[in-house]
Amino acid sequence: MESQRMSFCDSKTVLSYMEPNFRFNLALKIPFIRKAEKAAPLHINRLELEDDCVVVNETEYSMRVYRQCQAKTKSFGGNGEVQTKNKSLGAGREVIGLSRGEVNYDFDEYGFKISPEESIQPGDIKLNESARAFQRRGCKLDELEYECPEKSSLPCNHFIRLYVSGCKYQFSYTNMKMYFLMKRLLTIFFGNRNGEWTVKNMNIGNSVLLRWPVNGWKPIVQNFNIGEYSQIKLNGVESIIGANVSLPTLKTSFPFFGFSISDHTVLRNAEHLIFSGFAQDTHLPTLFSIRTHKVSLTFPTQGFFVEALIDMWMEKTRPIGVRYLILADSKANLARISRPEVLQRSSACIKLKMGDEAIVVVRYTEADSKTWLTIETVPKKK
């Protein structure tokens, strides 16, 4: 019986049920299914993007540059073995560490670091202003014990290494830089797609410059973690998922310095905004100006601060439907709060008049074994 090649539609159907990493690898090996692979629906549970690493579901692709000349020094890199180290990204994971002679950045012919600003390509998305502050050419790097002898007559071999869940692949560094390999990898995975693809959990919190593909459909993301809050990261989110696109959950954390929030379409289109980390008292008025309907603040708030929160909320009219959930480390007796707008109160709930059409409800709720102070504006019952 002669074997027959599957039709385009049949190939799309089969590919849509395959695990993404297996599917990417299969398309690399079988050219005639590549068009169907790009058109077939793609579903990814976990996508984490860094400058030198990509995680797709449970498969990790990490990149290093191996400098044979530096591997000779005892203090450079690791102990000669590939090590693992903890790295905080989302729920936390283990990534491939540096073995002796490896670095996780690109460098020029004299061993000087190439900053992200110098290697921007079409489609790249800048996610951190600090990219401009990276080591400039001509600045020696502390971890280099001596100059790379490549410019002299001494032999010096440089390689780019790609680790795929622990397996190592090595290429000549002469013909390829790490940023080019990252761009190529993301383009193979996600570029030129003309079929719907969805990501359940996406994280760009540790990326400075995302080597995003130029062409192709944009992903539908359910939960997006941008790490430390910044306006430039919100711009990046919009570049990835598109403008005026609904985003079910956006997760972020407070920066150490210079926190301010300005109106942004990503915040307006997010259904649920989650802030983690420690917030200063001066941050709260700014937070209450956010135009997202549901906001969760996961840093603990003490009970005595509740009255101040209510004062801030009542300073101006809030749209009906706006709801804030604030983690509480203790409960205050809400019956003791006295304001002229109070309509009804008890130890666990208080209702206040806001204009002629709305009521502010402040109460304690329990969720995920935690106590939350909920403040929301609801329509007035007629």
- Tens digits of residue pLDDT in 190-210: 999 999 999 999 999 999 999
Measured CA to CA, the distance from residue 251 to residue 89 in angstroms comes to 12
Task: Give pLDDT tens digits for 368-380.
Answer: 888 999 999 999 8
Q: What is the pLDDT of residue 318?
A: 84
Torsional class of 155: left (φ above 0), alpha (ψ -120 to 50), beta (otherwise) = beta
* Residues in contact with 51: Cβ distance below 8 Å, sequence separation at least 6, in sequence order: 104, 116, 182, 206, 207, 208, 209
* Burial letters 237-251, b for 16+ CB under 10 A, else e: bbbbbeeeeebebbb
Q: What is the pLDDT of residues 233-274, one digit of tens each?
A: 999 999 999 988 999 999 998 887 767 777 789 999 999 999
| Max mean pLDDT range (283-287, 294-298, 317-321, 326-330) | 294-298
| Pick from 151-155, 158-162, 217-221, 329-333: least confident | 151-155
pTM of the full structure: 0.83
